[in-house]
Amino acid sequence: MLVLPKGVRHMPGYLSRAVQEALVEDVRRVVQEAPLFVPAMPRTGKEMSVRMTNCGSLGWVTDKERGYRYQPTHPVTGTPWPPIPDVLLQLWRDVSAYPHPPEACLVNFYSPDAKMGLHQDRDEIDFSAPVVSVSLGDDCLFRVGQSTREGGTKSFKLKSGDIVVLGGEGRFCFHGVDRIYPSTSALLKNGGRINLTLRRVTYPG
């Protein structure tokens, strides 16, 4: 049995197929308002392999000039991000154990060759809130470590409908996506994986 770091929860198959299909339609509407863009690493300007967008009052962006940050508008169109879909707000209430709503939902699209290096989510102000992650589409190999890079890591598959929560002692665990397993889900017509990441950014009040 895989033992995950304290504060890291994996809930396999949490979302039914019907809810997943409805979420995909919600994501399509978000992308119509806030088109996918390619984020770039600070300083080097190297493009990431994922394409992304956001919904919520704040969205996470990164570029060579200004680095990692949250802002209320799309970096290309300059328009405000669309609202977070109701089903995701309800999911947050159900699994986050945090009394205030999320402010940002990152939408990452992984093509078959995309990956995400080990990283921590540290660009927020309020670290008492967890990070809630939703997987849609093709399976991926998810890697999670400790709160330092020196700690060991463990890898496991995430399937469509799975939820991962990083909270408490697990809030600063390094995590990433090693690979995508193409054609393992028929949820997305053209394949690939969507990851939705709900975050609280600022202190309430």
Q: Is 136 annotated as a binding residue?
A: no
Instruction: Identify whether 204 is part of a domain.
Output: no
In the prediction, which pLDDT does 151 show?
86
Tally the domains of the chain: 1
Instruction: Identify whether 89 is part of a domain.
Output: yes
The rounded distance, in Å, linking the Cα atoms of 19 and 131 is 20
Q: Is 53 annotated as a binding residue?
A: no
Mean pLDDT of 127-141: 98
- For residues 106 and 52, is the Cβ–Cβ distance under 8 A? yes
Using the predicted structure, report yes or no on whether residue 150 has a pLDDT greater than 90.
Answer: no
In the prediction, which pLDDT does 31 show?
98
Q: Is 194 annotated as a binding residue?
A: yes
The rounded distance, in Å, linking the Cα atoms of 74 and 36 is 10
Give the contacts of 43 (CB within 8 A, at least 6 positions apart). 64, 67
Q: Is 119 annotated as a binding residue?
A: yes
Burial grade of 199 (CB within 10 A; 0-12, 13-18, 19 or more): buried
pLDDT tens track for 18-49: 999 999 999 999 999 999 999 999 999 999 99
Instruction: Identify whether 113 is part of a domain.
Output: yes
Q: Is 110 annotated as a binding residue?
A: yes
Instruction: Identify whether 73 is part of a domain.
Output: yes
Q: Is 84 annotated as a binding residue?
A: no
Burial grade of 205 (CB within 10 A; 0-12, 13-18, 19 or more): exposed
Instruction: Identify whether 84 is part of a domain.
Output: yes
Q: Is 196 annotated as a binding residue?
A: yes
Instruction: Identify whether 165 is part of a domain.
Output: yes
Q: Is 178 annotated as a binding residue?
A: no
pLDDT tens track for 41-73: 999 999 999 999 999 999 999 999 999 999 999
Q: Is 138 annotated as a binding residue?
A: no
Using the predicted structure, report yes or no on whether residue 1 has a pLDDT greater than 80.
Answer: no
CATH (domain of 84): 2.60.120.590
Q: Is 54 annotated as a binding residue?
A: no
Q: Is 92 annotated as a binding residue?
A: no
Instruction: Identify whether 1 is part of a domain.
Output: no
Instruction: Identify whether 2 is part of a domain.
Output: no
Q: Is 14 annotated as a binding residue?
A: no
Structure-token pair, residue 11: 């809930």
Percent of the chain, pLDDT > 90? 96
- What is the span of the domain harbouring residue 23? 8-199
